[in-house]
Amino acid sequence: MPPGGQPPERPRRGTATPFLGTEDTLFSYVDQLAEARAGQRAMIVHLSRLDRLRRNDKHRQIVVNMLQQVMDEYPGRLFALGNGDVVAICKGITRRAFDETTELFRYLFNDDPLAAESVQRADFCALFDLEIDYPQFLSALDDIRETALRQSRTRVTPQLATSAVRSPRIDALVKSLARIDIANLMRRQTVWQMSPARPPDPVLDEIFISLDRIRKASGVDVEFANDRQLLHDLMLWLDQHLLATVARYHASVMHPLSVDIHLATLLSPVFDDFDKNPAIVMRDRIIFEMQLAELTADLPGYLSATKRLQDRGYRRCLDGVSHQALLYINFRRLDVDYVKVVWDDALLQSDDQTLRELRDAIADCGSGRIILTRCGRRQAIDVGRTIGIELFQGWQVDQANRN
């Protein structure tokens, strides 16, 4: 079919919540578009070429929001790519509208070398009239695809740590896990902002691998609780899988990703390799969760790890905090972005005095930083709100909000 046929699917009109396609959906959309190019224009905003300082979620969100508004009157699609770039494809939009948008982006990022007068505009925002420039657009996307491929080739396959002390059973376990796609064992749970006056809003997604799933999938008869060294070795090996997953997806998924990571991993060369991975383009979309138990066991190590994360632009969360600990530890001084307080049914029995003290402690820490986690019952949200918590996580929360 020549250009001028029907577009591949009925693209949506702009709404308040932009739908962001990913690389895979972009490539398939563009392939289908070959048959329906009439009036279609595309723009690639190369945010990945900005200075590292500006390659972050805030700036991508601004670009996405603005493009969404530009495209409000036209049918079109937006795609967030793994490298941080944003692609807009839109039917009926004028060249002038896209040109003006380019100028707005250059204005917003006017302190970046990419927006300098001496730099070609297309190096930052490349525009394509798909009726004419379709081959050039495909070529630009091929470059992006090639880069993604190169990055995936340099992705490190998780290896076992070569520590002197190692469980004799870890090799057998890892060998058996090597036959399984660990990605299939990963699960995701959302942290929701739930203020009384507003609809629930997803803030971030935690990805994790449950040990129970690992045990079942491996087929190895092992009780981790009885072999602490095996558990330790396995956790570090799984950390590498989580890091690889975060590296691959953090820039293209809708919400920032958080992972529970062990102090030993954060302080090891494994983390340096992760940080050097060219796929890591938006560090502020990655939240590393560390356990309070690890902090108390190795305070200097914790402080060193958390400083390291902060210096490199990642966000940090302290997990495994009991509501009692909230009353005794000054979490403000620990300087983390989030604190996860574990829901405890005992809170249902708390007297007014305790609730008041908790409310004060949460206000002191900053209510926007506290996440009430493992909320397995509806009352957890009610009690949480009573003491000033706005962020919630747990299967009950996911179920209620997704419904």
Partner 1 sequence: MRTLVGRMLSRLKMKVIAAEDGQRGLQALDRATQPVDLIICDWNMPGMSGMDVFEQVRARRPGLPFLMLTGRADLDSVVSAKKAGIAGYIVKPVSQPELQTKLSFLARKSA
Residues that bind partner 1 (CB under 8 A): 51, 53-54, 58, 61-62, 65-66, 69-70, 103-104, 107-108, 110-111
Count of other CB atoms within 10 angstroms of residue 172? 14
Q: What's the closest the beta carbon of residue 65 comes to partner 1, in angstroms?
A: 6
Q: What's the closest the beta carbon of residue 70 comes to partner 1, in angstroms?
A: 7
Please report the DSSP string for 20-33 in residue order.
EE-HHHHHHHHHHH
- CA 330/CA 328 separation, integer angstroms: 7
Q: Which residues of 219-252 are buried (b: 16+ CB within 10 A; e: fewer)?
A: eeebebeebeebbbbbbbbbbbbbbbbbbbbbbb
Q: Which helix (H) or strand (E) holds 187?
A: strand 186-193
Q: What's the closest the beta carbon of residue 51 comes to partner 1, in angstroms?
A: 8
Q: Which helix (H) or strand (E) holds 260?
A: strand 257-260
List all residues 6 or more positions away from 403 whose beta carbon is below 8 Å from its beta carbon: none
Q: Helix, strand or coil for residue 231?
A: helix
The encoded tokens of residue 79 equal: 């795609």
Sheet of 20-21: strands edge to edge? 20-21, 76-80, 86-91, 40-45, 125-129
- CA 307/CA 250 separation, integer angstroms: 21
| CB closer to partner 1, 68 vs 190 | 68
Q: Which helix (H) or strand (E) holds 141?
A: helix 130-153
Count of other CB atoms within 10 angstroms of residue 367? 14
Q: What's the closest the beta carbon of residue 102 comes to partner 1, in angstroms?
A: 12
Q: What's the closest the beta carbon of residue 100 comes to partner 1, in angstroms?
A: 8
Q: What's the closest the beta carbon of residue 71 comes to partner 1, in angstroms?
A: 11
| CB closer to partner 1, 203 vs 380 | 203
Q: What's the closest the beta carbon of residue 74 comes to partner 1, in angstroms?
A: 14
Q: Report CA-CA distances (Å) from 123 to 39, 70, 85, 297.
A: 23, 21, 12, 50
Q: What's the closest the beta carbon of residue 267 comes to partner 1, in angstroms?
A: 25
| CB closer to partner 1, 55 vs 241 | 55
> Which is nearest to 199 in space by CA: 65, 14, 395, 17?
17
| CB closer to partner 1, 203 vs 329 | 203
| CB closer to partner 1, 104 vs 363 | 104
List all residues 6 or more positions away from 280 whose beta carbon is below 8 Å from its beta carbon: 247, 250, 274, 286
Q: What's the closest the beta carbon of residue 192 comes to partner 1, in angstroms?
A: 21
| CB closer to partner 1, 65 vs 152 | 65
